[in-house]
Each structure stands twice: as structure tokens, then as C-alpha cells.
Structure 1
Amino acid sequence: MTEPNFDLMFNILKQIQGELATIKSDVMEMKVQQSLMGQQFGALTTAFYTSQSRLDKIDARLDRIERRLELTDAPS
């Protein structure tokens, strides 16, 4: 029977360990990026609904102005 080559196995395990460390670093970086994208999405959602609220207020004011100036279209 041949003797196991422990040096070869040790080198292979060191390579695997190095690759796992690289993968772990990449996953951590992706988690940070995902978190940042979630924060940006939340900010965009807030900005959208704030704009929508402002547009609703402008629409209500415009309706009131049209009624006061009697600029509304006659019902058809």
C-alpha cells in the first residue's frame, strides 16, 4: 500500500481555505451592497410618496381656484 502524501493534502486544504476566505469576503461585500441598495430604495420610495402628496395638495388647490373663478367645465 502506498503512503498517503500529507504534504499534498495539506497544500490542497490550504488552497481551499484561501478560496473560502475569498468567497466569505465577497459575500460580506455583497451583503453590505444589498443593505445600501435597500436604504436607497427606501429613500426613493419616501421621495415618491412625498412628491405624490405634494401633487395631491396642488391638485386640490387648483380645483378650489377653478371653483372660485368659476372656470369649471359645464357637465356634459
Structure 2
Amino acid sequence: MAEISADLVYEVLRSVQHDISQIKGEVRDVKIELNAIRGHLISVQQDIHNIYGILGRHDARFEHIERRLDLNETPPLSA
């Protein structure tokens, strides 16, 4: 059986350490991108919330206009 020297172990450990440091850097990049995506999603949610608010106000205004003009979608009941 071949004898394992300390130099060989150190070389393998250095290679593993280098790989781990690369992985840490890539994970850091992924976290940055994930935070950017999270920020965009929050912006989209706020925009949708604002749109719903605007649509609600328009709906209320249309109902008010319909009442003032006496416009009804349902036909009157006949006697």
C-alpha cells in the first residue's frame, strides 16, 4: 500500500479549501441576486396594491355617476 505523506494531505486540503472559498463567493453572489429579486417583488406587490386602490376609487365614482344619471343595469320589475 502506498504511503500517504503530509505534503500530499496538505495539497488535497488546499484544493478543498480553494473549492470552498469559490463556493462561498458564489453563494454570496446568489444571496445578492436573491435580495434584488425580493426587492423587485416587493415593488410589484406595492404597484398591484396601488392599482387595486385606484380601481376601487374608479368603481365608486362610476357607481356614483350611474346613480346620479339613474342608470340601472337590471330591468325594472313589471307589475
Report runs of 4+ in structure 1 exceeding 6 Å deviation: none
Shift of 1:41: 0.7
Q: Which runs of 5+ in 2 are unaligned?
A: none
Q: Deviations over 1:22-52 (max 9, x none)?
A: 1100110111111111101100000000000
Q: Which residue of 1 aligns with 2:40?
A: 40
Aligned to 1:13: 13
TM-score, normalising length: structure 2: 0.86
**Structure 1 unpaired stretches of 5+:** none
Which residue in 2 is equivalent to 1:25?
25
- Please state how far the C-alpha of 1:60 moved relative to its aligned partner: 0.4
Question: Which amino acid is the alignment partner of residue 17 of structure 1?
Answer: Q
Q: How much identity, in percent, do the aligned residues show?
A: 27
> Are 2:70 and 1:56 equivalent residues in the alignment?
no
Q: How many residues were matched structurally?
A: 75
**AA in 1 matched with 2:6:** F
